[in-house]
Amino acid sequence: MTKSQPIVLIAEDEESFIEALSVGLKREGFLVEAARDGEEALQMFEKHHPDIILLDIMLPRKSGLDVCREIRAHSRVPIIMVTAKSTEIDTVVGLELGADDYISKPYRMTELVARIRAVMRRTPSSGTEELEGDQRYEVGVISMDPARHEVFVRGDLVKLPLKEFELLEFFLSNPGRVLTREQIIDRVWGPYYAGETKTLDVHIKRLRGKIEQTPSDPTIITTVRGLGYRLEIPR
Ligand code: CA
């Protein structure tokens, strides 16, 4: 099988969606595989090694949430979760499934394709993965080794889901600088991110919960009113 065309695995139980997506994505140059339930999604993931997964949350036999968790246990393949309502996104983000992006029905084909391309750009496929060298970060009580995907806070290893890890990495590479909401969203979620801007606040809150001594009165990642956030350099 040639890998010149990226493979999209659609996990979706509504036949009309599958048809529309297949036609639209093929026209954009993707190869499309479709799974009709969660179990089949896992089987097809193993069989086809897709470059990206478009994963509906409400699936028969096994929910998209469980499918995402199971795939994330051993793979960093890009996953875009599909919710039935935009109001569900915060809840889903809060579950820390490790998905790369979220989109809610109904969505436009152009928006979906932009999101797929953005997520794929941010995720180097295996084999072309950039060498991260010995780049490590140490700011105050936090140290990070991106190559090993490890974060230590006050000497303790802290487990962070992918998005929180990337968020913290962006702060660590810009210590003391105010980062605007737009810059952060652009960097961590990609320039075509059009989801809820509350997503950022949810992630900041979760990250603070893990790194701050008093998350309600943060001293590491502080809010700069009207602008964004800053990683403070301790004096
Ligand atoms: Ca469904």
The rounded Å distance from CA 48 to ligand 1 centre is: 21
As a whole number, the mean pLDDT across the chain is: 87
The rounded Å distance from CA 225 to ligand 1 centre is: 40
Question: What phi and psi, each to the nearest 5 degrees, are found at residue 179?
Answer: -110, 125
The rounded Å distance from CA 90 to ligand 1 centre is: 18
How far apart CA 145 and CA 132 sit, in angstroms, is 10
Domains and CATH numbers, the chain: 7-122 (3.40.50.2300), 137-231 (1.10.10.10)
State the pLDDT confidence band at 124, using cuts at 50, 70 and 90: low
What are the tens digits of pLDDT across the range 174-230? 888 889 888 898 888 887 777 666 889 999 999 999 999 999 999 999 999 888 999
The rounded Å distance from CA 83 to ligand 1 centre is: 8
The rounded Å distance from CA 47 to ligand 1 centre is: 22
Kindly give the interhelix angle for 38-48 and 64-72, rounded to the nearest 10 degrees: 30
Q: Does the pTM exceed 0.75?
A: no
Find the mean pLDDT for residues 129-137. Answer: 57
Q: Is pLDDT of 21 > 80?
A: yes
Beta-strand pair 79-83/101-104 = parallel
The rounded Å distance from CA 43 to ligand 1 centre is: 18
The rounded Å distance from CA 58 to ligand 1 centre is: 4
The rounded Å distance from CA 12 to ligand 1 centre is: 6
What are the tens digits of pLDDT across the range 153-180? 999 999 998 889 999 999 998 888 889 8
The rounded Å distance from CA 13 to ligand 1 centre is: 5
